[in-house]
Amino acid sequence: MAASVREKQTVALKRMLNFNAPPLKNTAAEPVWKVLIYDRFGQDIISPLLSVKELRDMGITLHLLLHSDRDPIPDVPAIYFVMPTEENIDRICQDLRNQLYESYYLNFISAISRSKLEDIASAALAANAVNLVTKVFDQYLNFITLEDDMFILCHQNKELISYHAINRADIQDTDMEAIMDTIVDSLFCFFVTLGAVPIIRCPRGNAAEMVAVKLDKKLRENLRDARNSLFTGDSMAAGQFSFQRPLFVLADRNVDMATPLHHTWTYQALIHDVLDFHLNRVMMEEGVGAEPSPAGARPKKKSRKTYDLTAADKFWQKHKGSPFPEVAESVQEELDTYRAQEDEVKRLKSIMGLEGEDEGAISMLSDNTAKLTSAMSSLPELLEKKRLIDLHTNVATAVLDHIKSRKLDVYFEYEEKLMSKSTLDKSLLDIISDPDAGTPEDKMRLFLIFYITAQLAPSESDLEQYKKALTDAGCDLSPLNYIKQWKAFTKMAATPANYGNSGVKPMGLFSRVMNTGSQFVMEGVKNLVLKQHNLPVTRILDNLMEMKSHPETDDYRYFDPKMLRGSESSIPRNKNPFQEAIVFVVGGGNYIEYQNLVDYTKSKQGKKVVYGCSELFNAAQFIKQLSQLGQK
């Protein structure tokens, strides 16, 4: 199987941290001590991939932000990993003048322009530091990988390429060009790192098409320039891909506006929906007032805790796509197995003489050497296991609190019914006007999904009634204004997206998890089980990857940057299904679609799908963008 893009990006970073030489295999050699200097963009690219410990193993003793006050360390080489922006270049020139480090390895996240290179050169000359600037590299790493099969373009300044930015009514052509160039630059970096030239497919007449045209042009120009092409030579010869090239499907967020608003039921997507989850890190407030503080005392300060959900965490890898009830059960099972082992931990501790010393301990040492060595090896493992169990217990409990207090199970089930056009068991108005069910935002999300998926728009009088109920519930109606315009516009363009016959089977209320020892009190939460169904983005991918003929995707444009003349056609050249594909949503994506694609790929033997999006937003962030669009 080809190496994942996450592995490739990690390898590229490790190379860079080793002064752009492949890292040495024999670990006996001490690494060279060095300083890493990054900007916020560089920080966001590195943090999901390399831990501080890994950086230290690579000889990075200090890692600092470019625009912080840094003391000179004259006898240490410095590796810079920054975007080639004006202010970054100025700051690098200033570092050269102040002679901060022994030597400078400048790595630009995305290609630096000729004029900016000349600025650095003249500064180096003026500072008499030409011989200190050892290397300047374009790294082409301007994207962030979050999973083996998922990437986003940027986290800093993401509002510049957000859904709101692309769909503003008053956008100038020049602004749009700039947004498209930013997106294409990152996608170009993605394919350079992947080491593959894709075949591009996109719909007509929207932002996705603009990206496709520009990306095709950029790849084409790079392939034409044989001397400097980034797609020839060693990276290609390694043949990470089979003979087949990957398919690159560009989709536009406007294809499917309901999914990003949808309440969800799988673990990772729920965390993203209800907690503060960015770049694989959850931020949580701890110590939420369980015990009331005595009268007159200052309220306890909430401590913020962060948890990293990483690829090394087996429980997370196994369960991030599972329905929440399953996760709660599994955490509980893990906890029970750990408790059984806890006595073992105590025993090991006592073997190692880590508690309650007694005089007998010394005499026993000799025959305990064997036991001691086994204790040495298994104790850290058990403690690490304990740390992960605590982490998931805390995170899952926080998620559960939201599910219970906002009745998210009710919302999820009702929205699934709306999206699959099943019969509804209670009226929408009831839920909207039920003061106990959810926040105003939850109600707005539900109503927008109803409005987006309805075959027939509700009549004016009905709409007024809904609006009144929403306003009474404390909702801001501006997202609805935008969705109304959007719906009117898409009605002319296309048929509403079809969400497949998804269904949720309620399995009755929890019984098994209700056993007395459980951490999770699931009373009253519905135990919902998901049926596999494809969301619009997954369906588009399926049509294009399997070369199925379908009215939805038949007029998608086809680009092949390797063809000499850009032949404008929507007729694909090769008729074979693709084995590898990358789906990219212009305008933002979410974990629900990602999970849906992962589930789809599991059902297909030997296929590999990567999901990318210009930014990752949860429903709250998306609604905020919609309401900004609706206030115009």
pLDDT in tens, 605-631: 889 999 999 999 999 999 999 999 988
The Cα-based distances of 45 to 49, 101, 379, 522, 558 in angstroms read 7, 24, 33, 38, 31
Amino acid letter for position 7? E
Token pair in block for residue 169? 């009514």
Q: At what angle do helices 360-406 and 408-419 cross, to 10 degrees?
A: 60
DSSP 375-442: HHHHHHHHHHHHHHHHHHHHHHHHHHHHHHHHTHHHHHHHHHHHHTT---SS-HHHHHH-TTSS-HHH
Give Cα 298 to chain centroid, integer Å: 39
Q: Which two tokens stand for residue 142?
A: 């301007």
Distance (Å, rounded) from C-alpha 598 to C-alpha 593? 9
515 has a pLDDT exceeding 50: no
Whether 82 shows a pLDDT value over 90: the answer reads yes
Lowest mean pLDDT among 3-7, 347-351, 464-468: 347-351
149-170: pLDDT as tens digits: 999 998 888 888 899 999 988 8
Average pLDDT, the chain: 83
pLDDT score of 44: 94
Q: How many CB atoms lie within 10 A of CB 293?
A: 10
Q: Tell me the C-alpha to C-alpha distance, in Å, between residue 98 and each of 67, 70, 72, 74, 298.
A: 14, 11, 8, 10, 48
Which pLDDT band, with edges at 50, 70 and 90, does 187 fall under?
A: very high
Burial class (CB in 10 A: 0-12, 13-18, 19+), 578: buried
d(CA 86, CA 23): 31
Percent of the chain at pLDDT above 90? Answer: 46
Please report, as a single letter, which amino acid is at residue 333.
Answer: E
CA 170 – CA 527 distance, rounded (Å): 46
User: Residue 568 carries which DSSP code?
Assistant: -
Instruction: List C-alpha distances in Å: 403 to 201, 295, 336, 375, 527.
Output: 39, 31, 24, 41, 12
Mean pLDDT of 39-66: 92
User: What confidence category does residue 595 fall into, taking pLDDT thresholds of 50, 70 and 90?
Assistant: very high
Residue 281: in which H helix or E strand, if any? strand 281-285
- Summarised one tens digit per residue, pLDDT across range 8-30 is 999 999 999 988 887 766 555 67
| Residue-wise DSSP of 315-335 | HHHHHTTSBHHHHHHHHHHHH
Distances (CA, A) of 350 to 271, 345, 360, 369, 617: 39, 9, 12, 13, 49
Q: Give the single-character DSSP code of 44.
A: H
Task: Give CA separation, 383 vs 318, 323, 389, 390, 480, in Å.
Answer: 20, 27, 10, 11, 50
Burial of 102 (0-12, 13-18, 19+ CB in 10 A): middle
Q: pLDDT tens across 210-253, in order?
A: 999 999 999 998 888 767 777 765 444 344 444 578 999 999 99
Q: What is the pLDDT of residue 529?
A: 67
Q: Which two tokens stand for residue 313?
A: 């965490």
* Tokens encoding 261: 């608003």
- β 144-147/504-509 pair status: unpaired
Written as one letter, the residue type at 14 is K
Q: Rounded to 5 degrees, what are φ and ψ at 420?
A: -100, 10
pLDDT band at 87 (very low <50, low <70, confident <90, very high): very high
First to last CA, the chain: 49
How confident is the model over 586-598, as a mean pLDDT?
Answer: 93
Q: Is 51 left (phi over 0), alpha (psi -120 to 50) or beta?
A: beta
Output the pLDDT for position 513: 41
State which H helix or E strand residue 103 sits in: strand 101-108
